[in-house]
Amino acid sequence: MKNINHYSQSKFASLSPVKQLKALDRLLFSLEHSISQNDNYTKLKNHIIDCISWMKPPLPEYLSQLSNALEKEESLEKIYYAIAYYQQQRGKSLKDYQIEVRKGDGLRVVQPETVNKAQQMILILDNLRSAFNIGSIFRTAECLNLKSIYLCGVCATPESSSLKKTARGIEDRVLWKYFPHPEDAILAAKSEGYFLYALETVEAAKSVFEVNYKFPLALVVGNESMGISQNALKLCDSFLAIPVQGWKNSLNVAVACAICAYQIVFGNSPHQ
């Protein structure tokens, strides 16, 4: 079936119940997009209400609740969560890249000190296998306005469709370089004057919240399963770790990278 945003009553009524639900899924996806992009969504919202009214009773409770929420339109948030509840009842668990992100709603902080720190910081990714993790790290780098990302080994590059899905349109806004081996990237960074910090759970690692960082710096993060390779670790100047209080001793690499990068740019030095 074509991905269209409007059905006549006769066309919609002629669909089987299963195909009617699939058609509603597509219409609701378009509605979410319209809401997140601040587009005019009223006509589409009213069409969805009509489509639900054309379905043969009795309707599932979640469909009635969705229709009522759209008719009341008390707030965009309530419409959004009504759609989310509908999707949950349909057994649809969305991936991060499938969720629409609102534009222009971030708190922009432009401080000379933090901008200066960010522009003296690069990330070196050692053989990350997940393009989705890399895309998430690109988003972190863009939000912080970091200088660059060095992609190494099996890391996906911004040409990857999977990376683009998670990067959400900012992959072209972040400078990046590719190196066949992480050692090449680390040596290149050293030759450019960067101090190398490895984010790794080794015995000598210090808490990311207790370090007086040296700039310019490069933050090295490692493979999801194997961590940073031993050859790469030997070339680093210092080691960092994120303290944990639970049973698991490590976080997802994209999450850990974001925590550390934000601490470096916005955190206060322990000696200040």
85 and 148 share one domain: no
Averaged over 212-235, what is the pLDDT? Answer: 94
User: Of the candidates 254, 253, 218, which has an alpha carbon nearest to the alpha carbon of residue 237?
Assistant: 218
Averaged over 91-109, what is the pLDDT? Answer: 56
User: CA-based diameter of the chain, in Å?
Assistant: 72
Taking the alpha carbons at both ends of the chain, their separation in whole angstroms is 62
Q: Does residue 271 fall inside a structural domain?
A: no
> Which residues form the domain of 208?
112-266
| pLDDT score at 51 | 94
Q: Does residue 272 fall inside a structural domain?
A: no
Q: Which region among 32-41, 114-123, 199-208 has the lowest average model confidence (pLDDT)?
A: 32-41
Among candidate residues 74, 98, 122, the one where a domain is terminated: 98
Which pLDDT tens digit goes with each residue over 158-206? Answer: 887 777 777 666 777 889 999 999 999 999 999 999 999 999 988 899 9
For residues 228 and 234, give the distance between their C-alpha atoms in angstroms, rounded to a whole number: 10
Among candidate residues 98, 123, 143, the one where a domain is terminated: 98
For residues 147 and 175, give the distance between their C-alpha atoms in angstroms, rounded to a whole number: 7
91 and 120 share one domain: no
pLDDT at 3 over 60: no
| pLDDT score at 269 | 63
For residues 181 and 90, give the distance between their C-alpha atoms in angstroms, rounded to a whole number: 45
Query: ∠200-207-183 over CA atoms, to 5°?
Result: 30
82 and 131 share one domain: no
134 and 262 share one domain: yes
Among candidate residues 69, 98, 127, the one where a domain is terminated: 98
| pLDDT score at 130 | 87
Which tokens go with 51?
A: 């489509």
Q: Does residue 148 fall inside a structural domain?
A: yes
Among 56-60, 164-168, 214-218, which range has the highest average pLDDT? 214-218
3-state secondary structure the chain: CCCCCCCCHHHHHHCCHHHHHHHHHHHHHHHHHHHHCCCCCHHHHHHHHHHHHCCCCCCCHHHHHHHHHHHHCCCHHHHHHHHHHHHHHCCCCCCHHHCCCCCCCCCCCCCHHHHHHHCCEEEEEECCCCHHHHHHHHHHHHHHCCCEEEEECCCCCCCCHHHHHHHCCCHHHCCEEEECCHHHHHHHHHHCCCEEEEECCCCCCEECCCCCCCCCEEEEECECCCECCHHHHHHCCEEEECCCCCCCCCCCHHHHHHHHHHHHHHCCCCCC
Q: Does residue 103 fall inside a structural domain?
A: no
117 and 89 share one domain: no
Residue carrying the six token digits 């299963």 = 18
Give me the residues paired with residue 150 across strands: 124, 177
| pLDDT score at 168 | 64
| pLDDT score at 61 | 86
Q: How confident is the model at residue 56 (pLDDT cuts 50, 70, 90)?
A: very high
| pLDDT score at 148 | 97
73 and 132 share one domain: no
Q: Does residue 178 fall inside a structural domain?
A: yes
> How many Å separate Cα 78 from the centre of its chain?
23
Averaged over 56-72, what is the pLDDT? Answer: 88
* Prior bond of 270 cis (ω within 30°): no
86 and 176 share one domain: no
Q: Does residue 3 fall inside a structural domain?
A: no
Among 38-42, 92-96, 147-151, 245-249, which range has the highest average pLDDT? 147-151
Q: Does residue 73 fall inside a structural domain?
A: yes
26 and 125 share one domain: no
Averaged over 85-108, what is the pLDDT? Answer: 62
143 and 215 share one domain: yes
Q: What is the pTM of this model?
A: 0.69
| pLDDT score at 1 | 40
- Return mean pLDDT, the chain: 86
94 and 125 share one domain: no
| pLDDT score at 88 | 80
Q: Does residue 105 fall inside a structural domain?
A: no
239 and 212 share one domain: yes
User: Number of structural domains, the chain?
Assistant: 2
Q: What CATH number does residue 161 fall under?
A: 3.40.1280.10
Give me the residues paired with residue 125 across strands: 151, 221
Q: How confident is the model at residue 97 (pLDDT cuts 50, 70, 90)?
A: very low
| pLDDT score at 74 | 63
Which pLDDT tens digit goes with each residue over 67-89? Answer: 988 888 767 777 877 888 888 88
140 and 85 share one domain: no
Q: How confident is the model at residue 106 (pLDDT cuts 50, 70, 90)?
A: low
pLDDT at 4 over 70: no
| pLDDT score at 216 | 98
Helix axes 76-89, 61-72, angle to 10 degrees: 170
